Amino acid sequence: METNSTTGYQVSLPSRSYSSRLWQALRVIARNRLALMGLVIILTGLFAAIFAPYITTHDPFEINIPDRLQPPSRSHWFGTDFMGRDTYTRVIFGARTAFQVAIGAVVLGAFFGIPIGMLAGYFGRWVDSAFMRVMDAILAFPGRLLAIALVASLGGGLFSLYVAIGVNSIPSYARIIRGAVLSQKEKEYVEAARMTGETDGMIMYRHILPNCFAPLLIRLSLDFAGAILTESSLSFLGLGFPPPTPSWGLMLKEVSPFLELQPWAAFIPGLTISLMILGFNLLGDGLRDVFDPRQYER
């Protein structure tokens, strides 16, 4: 293990496969109690998202006006919302919505961010400057503002949420990859690889990318948390998913006029959002504590 002088991350030499690195990460998680808790929370959420129809009691869209705004009862474990829909069911399906958005947004961010970072770092000079300026422009907008603006233009719905949330994370991936590329670029094994005829693409994929595994994993985890938070915030503002989608943020929006009448319907979805975010944060922090103890950047 050496330490990458640019990003300060621990870096392994390029002989290990991706799967062995994944195993290493898992072992690290197992040792750190908080990270493990985070993983458990995430897996629970994922389970709920995948098996939602099998573990819920009602249809999330089934309206039942006479039964609206009921407190928790035997038939409605978390009570009902303002249209008589079962809160428990909608919360479980909300997990599905949350994960859908989060996965898409994060993948989008990484999908664009990683190549940008690679190209910027590898080819340097004006390519680097150009890309980094664009990254700076994205970063010039505080967190949620860009997402709001993008969603305002593109309208609601899954695809625009992907773009709105994903764009925000592109710079982080770009930076991580670029840093790794810059530090590894001059190393001997890269020279050796080039001399044996490997193309730039192969070099980047097989040698440089594996060394960013740890910081990428951390960033992925934290970005998931951010994506869930952003989606629920946007839905709360009415900019994300339209009704009657079971989205946690949207549920909170719908319940706000009836806050005093039915606090439960407001309490539970917010709690689940917090839990999911907490889970991803714990995982990301746990990984970070091991791979890079001195972390002062965002």
- Of the residues 8, 154, 158, 198, which one makes contact with other proteins according to CB under 8 A: 154
* 108 to 147: interface string for other proteins, x by CB under 8 A: -------------------------xx-xxx-xxxxxxx-
- Of the residues 105, 174, 277, 287, which one makes contact with other proteins according to CB under 8 A: 277
Compute the least distance from the CB of residue 172 to other proteins, in Å: 13
* 169 to 208: interface string for other proteins, x by CB under 8 A: ----------------------------------------
**3-class secondary structure for the chain?**
CEECCCCCCEECCCCCCHHHHHHHHHHHHHHCHHHHHHHHHHHHHHHHHHCHHHHCCCCCCCCCHHHCCCCCCCCCCCCECCCCCEHHHHHHHHHHHHHHHHHHHHHHHHHHHHHHHHHHHHHCHHHHHHHHHHHHHHHCCCHHHHHHHHHHHHCCCHHHHHHHHHHHHHHHHHHHHHHHHHHHCCCHHHHHHHHCCCCHHHHHHHHHHHHCHHHHHHHHHHHHHHHHHHHHHHHHCCCCCCCCCCCHHHHHHHHHHHCCCCHHHHHHHHHHHHHHHHHHHHHHHHHHHHHCCCCCCC
With CB under 8 A as the rule, give the number of residues binding other proteins: 47
Q: Which of residues 246-275 bind other proteins (CB under 8 A)?
A: 249, 252, 256, 259-260, 263, 266-267, 269-270, 273-275
Residue ranges that bind other proteins, judged by CB under 8 A? 133-134, 136-138, 140-146, 148-150, 152-155, 225, 229, 232-233, 236-239, 249, 252, 256, 259-260, 263, 266-267, 269-270, 273-275, 277-278, 281-282, 296-298
